[in-house]
Structure 1
Amino acid sequence: MSVKTDKIDRLSELSAVKQEEQGVSLWTEAFRRLRRSPSAIIGASILLIFVIVAIIGPWVAPYSPTDTIGIREGVVKSGQGIIPGASAEHWLGYDHQGRDLFSRMLVGARQTLLVGVISTLIGLTIGAIIGGIAGAAAGLGGRVGRWVDNVLMRFVDIMLALPSLLLAVSIAALLGASLTTVMIAVGLVSVPIFARLLRGAMLAQSGGDYVLAATSLGVTRRRIALTHIVPNSLAPVIVQATLTLATAIIEAAALSFLGLGNPDSSVPEWGVMLADAQSYLGIRPGLAIYPALGIIITALGFTLLGEAMREALDPKLRK
């Protein structure tokens, strides 16, 4: 009986070892690491709160973000330096036009999220197309492939030669002040980053053993690039997209602060609110502090999550 029990215990141990040694995919292993990372948990929590506020903000805002209730009631007189602060009815007080600041912060979160996400998608899409074509052309080799790769990368180098904020300001100035202009300008600035990152990842993957095995089986280089190299090269691009979201929100706020954002200040957006507050810092510094804190905390959330994803996906950075 004892021998039989020992055999069962040993079989259980061997089964447990086998399950532990069983291979898992890159994304499954990365997700396990993210669940144990304090930075990832904090960043994801911040972003979850931000997204929830952006979605439900317009419905839970106690007042209309465009209603000049303070001026109508005669409690706000910005020309005389009278802008009341927080109260039981208005948790963050009024802005310079008598609008409820708390309601504007809630509604403005959606606009800020919209600017960041669309800007990043513009940069990611265009950059991935350029980088993917360049990486595939370089991997295919040949005179035409090298020529296509060189032309695309020299175009990217020209964009990288210009400071990002200066390039964004130039694009926004050419297209005219609007929220759409800010999205396009910030998105185009991030194109070179995604293009070079995807191209470099594809070139690194092109020397992998699985590429050699597929080639020996007669699979065409074009099919290998599209079905194997590109999917295996997307991990660093996705991580960079998360980090770029934080940068996009800050750059969009900077363009709005410079007067290149939405000219209609009645539409709440944290960058525009920050720009409008600069004339009233001596009277009500909270007009600038609240949107600035919103931008900083949101950018911090994206940065923490992005760095944690980078660490989880990159074997050289894993702890």
Structure 2
Amino acid sequence: MTITPGKKREKIDRLAELAAVRDDERGVSLWQEAFRRLRRNPAAIVGAVILALFVLVAVVGPFLVPYGATDSIGIREGVVKSGQGIIPGPSGDHWLGYDHQGRDVFSRMIVGARQTLLVGVVSTLIGLAVGALIGGVAGAAAGLGGRWGRWVDSTLMRFVDMLLALPSLLLAVSVAALLGASLTTVMIAVGVVSVPVFARLLRGSMISQSNSDYVLAATSLGVKRSRIALTHVVPNSLAPVIVQATLTLATAIIEAAALSFLGLGNPDSTIPEWGVMLADAQPYLGIRPALAIYPAVAIIITALGFTLLGEAMREALDPKLRK
């Protein structure tokens, strides 16, 4: 039976229509699918809103505060007499009242948000950079195999195990005590605490990825193992590390506040930081407990925002946790 050109063309067009893929059926990348899930997750939305407000206040807020963060307005005006137990509360001009040195608490809270964000981000980046370096080298060495690869992996992991054996707060206090009290010390101390977490996570993810089909295919094509590790295994292993960085930001803010509360943070208390404000408020809990409540609530809400967003990202990126 002879098929005319017209029928042949119609048949081809029909097959093309059947084979066509609609826009909503096209495959998407892991991150695109994760973003879709995050947009439908109420916890992720709440966490993102909290963090957006926190970052906005930290970046823009210090330029809009009504009073200087170090200006002792209440002492100068004679309305604050902390020695006599007189520390006025909120008013129309001072929304959160004064502190024990007559400074506007609202202005110090806004300016302190920038210091808190700086400590959390920098300490997390320190832990991420050092931990990813150790974990990446260990994961690549384990994937390469051989005697030297196993030796390098074992040596680095024993060092990480030593850090994990110490309680995180004790390790941070030890590092801060060795380096001396300063804001930089707090960043380094909190960063060191998070190093073993990132190292272990990246190493495990790289070892898991090294058994994938694409690694076997690249190896069969003669690609060097070192190139496979750097250009394929490491990029595909970063998703859980990024999620962990979001969760680590929450703990970094809490641990930084704890170190400042213990007197290992910035020795200059005139520079507002939520942990320092919490420590300064302790002698005046009987007079004005709100001085401790304000920074404590701010720390809790900020840490909650990072935790909600991090957990939602973990659920969106891990197929085992998807609902």
Q: What's the TM-score once normalised by structure 2's chain length?
A: 0.94
Question: 1:12 Cα deviation (Å)?
Answer: 11
Counterpart CA distance in 2 for 1:18 and 1:109 is 47
What does residue 112 of structure 2 align with? 108
Counterpart CA distance in 2 for 1:289 and 1:200 is 41
- Residue 242 of structure 1: which of 233, 243, 246 is its match? 246
Question: 1:57 Cα deviation (Å)?
Answer: 1.6
Give the residue type in structure 2 aligned to 1:157: D
Counterpart CA distance in 1 for 2:15 and 2:102 is 75
Counterpart CA distance in 2 for 1:167 and 1:317 is 32
What does residue 3 of structure 2 align with? none
What does residue 302 of structure 1 align with? 306
Counterpart CA distance in 2 for 1:62 and 1:106 is 10
Give the residue type in structure 1 aligned to 2:175: I
Counterpart CA distance in 2 for 1:58 and 1:160 is 38
1:198 counterpart = 2:202: yes
Question: 1:59 Cα deviation (Å)?
Answer: 0.7
Counterpart CA distance in 2 for 1:244 and 1:219 is 36
1:80-95 pair list within 5 angstroms: 80-95=84-99
Counterpart CA distance in 1 for 2:242 and 2:182 is 28
1:231 counterpart = 2:243: no
Counterpart CA distance in 2 for 1:173 and 1:186 is 12
What does residue 71 of structure 2 align with? 67
Give the residue type in structure 1 aligned to 2:167: P
1:265 counterpart = 2:260: no
Question: 1:212 Cα deviation (Å)?
Answer: 0.4
Give the residue type in structure 2 aligned to 1:105: M
Counterpart CA distance in 1 for 2:157 and 2:173 is 23
Give the residue type in structure 2 aligned to 1:145: G
Counterpart CA distance in 2 for 1:102 and 1:262 is 20
Counterpart CA distance in 2 for 1:20 and 1:213 is 30
Counterpart CA distance in 1 for 2:73 and 2:66 is 12
1:147 counterpart = 2:151: yes
Q: What's the TM-score once normalised by structure 1's chain length?
A: 0.95
Structure 1: 5+ residue runs without aligned partners?
1-6
Counterpart CA distance in 1 for 2:137 and 2:180 is 31
- Residue 226 of structure 2: which of 217, 222, 227 is its match? 222
Counterpart CA distance in 1 for 2:220 and 2:22 is 32
Percent identical across equivalent pairs? Answer: 83
- Report the number of matched residues: 311
Question: 1:58 Cα deviation (Å)?
Answer: 1.3
1:26 counterpart = 2:21: no
**1:182-202 deviations in Å (ceiling 9; x for gaps):** 000000000000000000000
Question: 1:14 Cα deviation (Å)?
Answer: 5.1
Counterpart CA distance in 1 for 2:211 and 2:276 is 48
Counterpart CA distance in 1 for 2:276 and 2:18 is 63
1:51-62 pair list within 5 angstroms: 51-62=55-66
Structure 2: 5+ residue runs without aligned partners?
1-10
**1:117-165 deviations in Å (ceiling 9; x for gaps):** 0000000000000000000000001111100000000000000000000
Please provide the CA RMSD for this pair: 1.5
**1:24-71 deviations in Å (ceiling 9; x for gaps):** 110111011111111111000000000000001211110000000100
Higher gyration radius (CA): 2
What does residue 52 of structure 2 align with? 48
